[in-house]
Structure 1
Amino acid sequence: MPLPRFDRLPAERREHILEVARRHFAEHGAESASYNKIIEAAGVSKTAVYHYFDGREDLLTAVLDGVLGRLLDALGPWEPARDEEDFAARFAAGSTALATHLGGHPEDLALADAAIGRTADGPWLDWFAALVADGSRIGLIRTDVDPSLTVAATAAVIRAADAWALARMTTGPDPDDPSGQLWTLLRGLWGAAPTGQEPDRAL
């Protein structure tokens, strides 16, 4: 996380530094982008930057936290469903909103897998916990498995589907809708076959 002095910079200056870093990490890769080139492009001296971040990993964490926050904003909070059909519709709506955001924000698209992959807990997993709890309540998701395991497994399946779908998005428009395959995987994982509407898109 940024050091306290970074938070005391004017908001425009903070956002400029993070925008430059995000662009470099997206273009060159989260693990490959040059810290020195980012600093130079942002117009920050090497002396000053160490008052803002402990190092490259600190800056990368700040960038990926921002990416993850925007992904969660696109998804929106999970709202309780009336029934299985409504559950599928809400899942589809979140998936579509996330796909729309990623389609319009190529830097977030490039860094999405890295942002999700660095999150072992916190708000991202909380979203899936709410989804699993709601699916269990309406009888869509099995309850004979510890809920924390179901949450972790659901998040892992969707992350794998994310990585697969994101790779397809980066190569251009995908003529095949991958949502059916994801929904089939989830139905098998959850141990109950939902009725009604299937999601329109994969997460």
Structure 2
Amino acid sequence: MPLPRFHRLPATEQERILAVATRQFSVRGLADLSVHEVADEAGLSRSAMYNYFDGRGDLVDAVRAAALRRVAAALGAWVAQPDPAAFWAAFRAGTQQLSALLAEAPELRPVLATATGGGLDEWVDAFFGNAVTLGLVSAPHRLTRVATGAILAATDAAELAEPGSVSTADVEALLRAVWCAFPQVDDPAD
């Protein structure tokens, strides 16, 4: 993550530097991202960049974190819905908000495609918890929650690799199938 000096910069300057790095990441790819070229395009000395970031990996981590913050802001917090119809409508609205962000800022696609973990666990937890509360999940155990996160991550990866390749209806159908595929069984540990 950025060094303390970076955090002391005005927010607009931090955003400007990260925007340049994001653009470079998008154009050059992860393998060819250069701290020196980011510094040059941002109008900074190379030594200044090393006052803000502890090397290329640190800059990449900062760019990924900024991209994930933009996704989280676009999605907003998951708001518990009162019934299944409202739940799925809110899910569809969230996917539309994410699609709108990526249409507005396509340079985020290659950055997000390399981000691991997603950084949206709270959103997925709230989404899944609401599904459990509404009775949409037949077996609300840890494996089903992990499977939900994996389905959403796989959906994101497919969509980032090939925009428009994943329909919200298909994701909804897959989630419904997984959530209802587990029969109620007694836990042998009980």
Give the TM-score normalised by structure 1. Answer: 0.81
Provide the C-alpha distance between the structure 1 equivalents of 2:129 and 2:66, rounded to a whole number of angstroms.
27
- Does the 8 Å contact 1:103/1:109 carry over to 2? no
Q: Decide whether aligned partners of structure 1 residues 32 and 87 sit closer, same or farther in structure 2, where only a CA change above 3 A counts.
A: same
State the partner residue of 1:199: none
1:131 aligns with 2:120: no
Provide the C-alpha distance between the structure 1 equivalents of 2:89 and 2:106, rounded to a whole number of angstroms.
26
Structure 1 segment 66-85 matched on structure 2, within 5 A = 66-85=66-85
- Does the 8 Å contact 1:132/1:150 carry over to 2? no
Q: Which runs of 4+ in 1 moved over 4 A?
A: none
1:156 aligns with 2:145: no
Provide the C-alpha distance between the structure 1 equivalents of 2:15 and 2:35, rounded to a whole number of angstroms.
17
Which amino acid letter does the alignment assign opposite residue 18 of structure 2? Answer: L
- Does the 8 Å contact 1:78/1:130 carry over to 2? yes
What RMSD in Å do the two structures reach over aligned CA positions? Answer: 1.9
Which amino acid letter does the alignment assign opposite residue 153 of structure 1? Answer: A
Q: Decide whether aligned partners of structure 1 residues 177 and 56 sit closer, same or farther in structure 2, where only a CA change above 3 A counts.
A: closer
- CA offsets, 1:35-70, max 9 Å, x none? 221122222222222211111111111111111011
- CA offsets, 1:93-133, max 9 Å, x none? 11111111111111123322223x244xx5x0110000111
- Does the 8 Å contact 2:124/2:149 carry over to 1? yes
Number of residues of Structure 1 aligned to a counterpart in Structure 2: 181
Q: Decide whether aligned partners of structure 1 residues 155 and 32 sit closer, same or farther in structure 2, where only a CA change above 3 A counts.
A: farther
- Does the 8 Å contact 2:158/2:166 carry over to 1? no
Q: Which runs of 5+ in 1 are unaligned?
A: 193-203
Q: Decide whether aligned partners of structure 1 residues 150 and 30 sit closer, same or farther in structure 2, where only a CA change above 3 A counts.
A: farther
Provide the C-alpha distance between the structure 2 equivalents of 1:74 and 1:63, rounded to a whole number of angstroms.
17
Q: Which has the higher contact order (CA 8 A, sep 6+)?
A: 1
The percent identity for this pair of structures is: 39
Is the partner of 1:32 in helix, strand or coil? Answer: coil
Q: Which runs of 5+ in 2 are unaligned?
A: 182-190
Q: Decide whether aligned partners of structure 1 residues 144 and 162 sit closer, same or farther in structure 2, where only a CA change above 3 A counts.
A: closer
Provide the C-alpha distance between the structure 1 equivalents of 2:65 and 2:9, rounded to a whole number of angstroms.
18
Give the TM-score normalised by structure 2. Answer: 0.86
State the partner residue of 1:96: 96
Which amino acid letter does the alignment assign opposite residue 29 of structure 1? Answer: G
State the partner residue of 2:184: none
Q: Decide whether aligned partners of structure 1 residues 12 and 137 sit closer, same or farther in structure 2, where only a CA change above 3 A counts.
A: closer
Provide the C-alpha distance between the structure 1 equivalents of 2:17 and 2:78, rounded to a whole number of angstroms.
32
Which amino acid letter does the alignment assign opposite residue 160 of structure 1? Answer: A
Provide the C-alpha distance between the structure 1 equivalents of 2:102 and 2:140, rounded to a whole number of angstroms.
35
2:137 to 138, 141, 164: 141
Provide the C-alpha distance between the structure 1 equivalents of 2:76 and 2:60, rounded to a whole number of angstroms.
24
